[in-house]
């Protein structure tokens, strides 16, 4: 039997040819020739969905570059911020992180940007620009 497996949002993420009948709300029986992967199961039919915005994971160096472009920070301001006692905790976390990845949607990223704003290194408009112009796939 062929089943489409949907996630919590109703999006089909898998199509499986199983040996027996499966009774589960997230397993939708489909015909052999159907392929609804990526479609949304709504009211008994498959609907196409707009592709979600996927933000690129940046390296730390690229994140610094974001601060200098949309964030408007100069090299001198970056150096000052690097030595600012109010921000040292965030730089420490930055350095101790086990990865070079900077994720737009990470709470750590939000905390760093908020701290830069709170301490006058970027404005709210610049923070908004950093987020709005974050590179996407």
Q: Which residues neighbour 33 within 8 Å (Cβ) at sequence distance 6 or greater?
A: none
Size of interface with other proteins, in residues (CB under 8 A): 36
Q: Does 37 bind other proteins (CB under 8 A)?
A: yes
Within 62-121, which residues bind other proteins (CB under 8 A)?
Answer: 62, 98-101
In the complex with other proteins, which residue's Cβ is closer, 13 or 118?
13
Q: Choose the binding region for other proteins from 51-59, 67-75, 88-96, 125-133 (rule: CB under 8 A).
A: 51-59
Q: How far is the CB of 42 from other proteins (least distance, A)?
A: 18
- DSSP readout, the chain? -EEEEE-TTSBEEEEEE-SS----TTEEE--TT---TT-EEETTEEE--PPPP-BPPEEHHHHHHHHHHTT---HHHHHHHHH-GGGHHHHHHHHH-S-SEE-TT-HHHHHHHHHHHHTTSS-HHHHHHHHHT--B-
Chosen residue from 17, 32, 83, 95 binding other proteins by CB under 8 A: 17
In the complex with other proteins, which residue's Cβ is closer, 66 or 77?
66
User: Where does this chain bind other proteins (CB under 8 A)?
Assistant: 3, 5, 7, 11, 13-22, 24, 26-27, 37-38, 52, 54-62, 98-101, 135-137
């Amino acid at each position: 039997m062929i089943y489409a497996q949907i996630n919590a949002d109703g999006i089909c993420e898998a199509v499986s040819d199983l040996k027996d009948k499966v009774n589960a709300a997230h397993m939708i029986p489909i015909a052999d020739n159907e392929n609804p992967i990526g479609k949304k199961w709504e009211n008994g039919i498959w609907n196409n969905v707009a592709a979600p915005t996927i933000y690129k994971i940046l390296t730390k160096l690229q994140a610094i570059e974001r601060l200098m472009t949309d964030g408007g920070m100069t090299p001198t301001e970056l150096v000052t911020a690097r030595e600012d006692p109010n921000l040292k905790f965030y730089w420490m976390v930055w350095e101790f992180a086990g990865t070079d990845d900077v994720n737009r949607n990470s709470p750590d990223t939000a905390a760093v940007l908020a701290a830069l704003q709170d301490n006058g290194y970027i404005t709210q408009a610049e923070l908004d620009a950093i987020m709005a112009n974050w590179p996407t796939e």
